[in-house]
Structure 1
């Protein structure tokens, strides 16, 4: 085997090793993420106990994170804004804030295909409202 072929073979082996390590790291992050999201529970908040104002909250599950601003007026959620949202899994859950305002509750139905992202946004809203008290 020539010197050039040996160098090429070594390069291919090193590249394959790098790809394999990257894949294993990604799979580990995905498993950690799934466990984090499955552990999230959503609790409703008694809006009559929340003073008027705008409150911020966040939730970070690894592959998905959300920060929200929630405005409460006269015992009602009048606005939910995603101030920071990161998801490598898609953007469908961005409809959740509007549903929370429309239904006046945190536990709205998840967006099909974006269940985990929906949960993270809902938890960020809950965190905002529980931190408001």
Structure 2
């Protein structure tokens, strides 16, 4: 009986550590991402080309390639993403940036940090 209690206690302890680690990973960088300032970009200062940009903050880490032609953003490709990929959010943000020709667009409701991570990557590609 004592042996069974020790085994059950160890199993519960292992699960507690796994759950605690998962919660730390999920929330790591959340506050930073929520408060992340996104700055406007000045496309008149950018030559034609494709520019890499990254943002790193836990699970909201990504790299993009932003193509500029004739002082306009013509394409944005996601090169690498670490976050829980949500193609709908990614597509919405990319379309909004290309439509507005700037990074000062609204974030996707319920995916604020993911949205800001992509916007910051795009900004970082264009502000150097």
Q: TM-score, normalised by structure 2?
A: 0.88
Per-residue deviation at 1:59?
0.8
Q: How does 1:6-85 map to 2 (within 5 A)?
A: 6-85=2-81
Q: Which of 100, 114, 119 matches 2:116? A: 119
Aligned: 1:107 with 2:104 = yes
Question: Which secondary structure does the structure 2 equivalent of 1:41 belong to?
Answer: coil
Aligned length: 127
Q: Taking structure 1 as reference, are residues 12 and 89 closer, same or farther at Cα in structure 2, changes over 3 Å only?
A: farther
Question: Which secondary structure does the structure 1 equivalent of 2:66 belong to?
Answer: strand
Q: Which runs of 5+ in 2 are unaligned?
A: none
Per-residue deviation at 1:28?
2.9
Does the 8 Å CA contact 1:92/1:113 hold for their aligned counterparts? no
